[in-house]
């Protein structure tokens, strides 16, 4: 059992898009810590979601931290737009541009916290040169692009390795996990060292009356 506080970051990709503002208000009231916003461009990943204008409209619905995951390439030209739209954390993939450290600098210059996301095929060593400047590490336990995929078991070793790296750094860095998170895999991710869980289907299942129970269940592994 961990003594780390566990944060839940529901992914709005699993929400009812016909009433998205109401969904964000409901998941906020139910106890979400972050609101996770997956931005996909149909190029870096094989799907298209939404851009800064949707985030800007949702910003009026909640004061919770907007955890914006950019699955786009290139990243740098769009950082300012997402920051202005209301992002609090902007997370990018190292494969999305040639100069990861420059991207981190641009995110922080825009007034946001900087996150780095590791795909299942991205090695842990990618983090080493950047860890002193990061505020969040996101481990993808599915290949990014679509919700509802099954949890990739090898992600647990990556979570554990990054937990050790963070602890050795002495810095406060969120260790977030996204992909196939349900009540069972949430507990295993927490045991491996995660302290932020992104959940789509598991958070939004059953409609607003179930959201608080869903979030409590996801924390249950703690």
CA distance 42 to 8: 27
In the CATH scheme, what is the code of domain 7-219? 3.20.20.70
67 close to 35: Cβ distance less than 8 angstroms: yes
**Tokens matching residue 201:** 């289907």
Q: What digits encode the pLDDT tens for the residues 178-205?
A: 999 999 999 999 999 999 999 999 999 9
Give the mean pLDDT of the chain. Answer: 95
Residue 145 exposure: Cα atoms within 13 Å on the Cβ side: 9
Residue 32 phi, psi dihedral angles, 5° rounding: -60, 145
8-23: average pLDDT: 97
56-69: average pLDDT: 98
Torsion of CA 6, 12, 13, 14, to 10 degrees: 80
Could you list the active site residues? 38, 178
In the annotated binding site for substrate, the residues are 11, 69, 145-148, 178-180, 200-201
3 state SS of 90: strand
Domain limits, the chain: 7-219
State yes or no: pLDDT of 157 exceeds 90. Answer: yes
Q: What digits encode the pLDDT tens for the residues 98-140?
A: 999 999 999 999 999 999 999 999 999 999 999 999 999 999 9
Distances (CA, A) of 15 to 36, 38, 41, 59, 214: 11, 12, 19, 16, 14
Residue 3: exposure state from Cβ atoms within 10 A (0-12, 13-18, ≥19) = exposed
In the annotated binding site, the residues are 11, 36, 38, 69, 145-148, 178-180, 200-201
Please state at what angle helix 20-29 crosses helix 208-219, rounded to 10 degrees: 50
Confidence class for position 145, pLDDT limits 50, 70, 90: confident
The H or E element spanning position 69 is strand 65-71
Confidence (pTM): 0.96
State yes or no: pLDDT of 221 exceeds 60. Answer: no
What is the β-pairing status of strands 7-10 and 196-199? parallel
Residue owning tokens 């997370």: 91
In the annotated binding site for a divalent metal cation, the residues are 36, 38, 69, 178
162 close to 192: Cβ distance less than 8 angstroms: no
Listed range (23-37, 115-129, 136-150, 199-213) with the worst mean pLDDT: 136-150
**Tokens matching residue 102:** 């420059």
């Amino acid at each position: 059992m961990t003594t780390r506080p566990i944060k839940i970051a529901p992914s709005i990709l699993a929400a009812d898009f016909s009433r998205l503002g109401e969904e964000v208000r409901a998941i906020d009231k139910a106890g979400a810590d972050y609101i996770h916003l997956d931005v996909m461009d149909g190029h870096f990943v094989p799907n298209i979601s939404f851009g800064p204008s949707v985030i800007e409209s949702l910003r009026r619905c909640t004061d919770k931290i907007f955890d914006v995951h950019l699955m786009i390439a290139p990243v740098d030209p769009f950082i300012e737009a997402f920051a202005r739209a209301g992002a609090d954390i902007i997370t990018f993939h190292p494969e999305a541009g040639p100069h990861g450290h420059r991207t981190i600098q641009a995110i922080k210059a825009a007034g946001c916290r900087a996150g780095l996301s590791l795909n299942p095929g991205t090695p842990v060593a990618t983090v080493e040169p950047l860890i002193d400047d990061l505020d969040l590490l996101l481990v993808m336990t599915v290949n990014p692009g679509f919700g509802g995929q099954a949890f990739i078991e090898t992600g647990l070793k990556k979570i554990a390795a990054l937990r050790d790296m963070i602890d050795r750094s002495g810095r406060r860095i969120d260790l977030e996990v996204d992909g196939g998170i349900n009540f069972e895999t949430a507990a295993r991710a927490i045991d491996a060292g995660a302290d932020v869980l992104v959940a789509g289907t598991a958070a939004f299942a059953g409609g607003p009356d179930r959201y608080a129970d869903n979030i409590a269940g996801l924390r249950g592994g703690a």
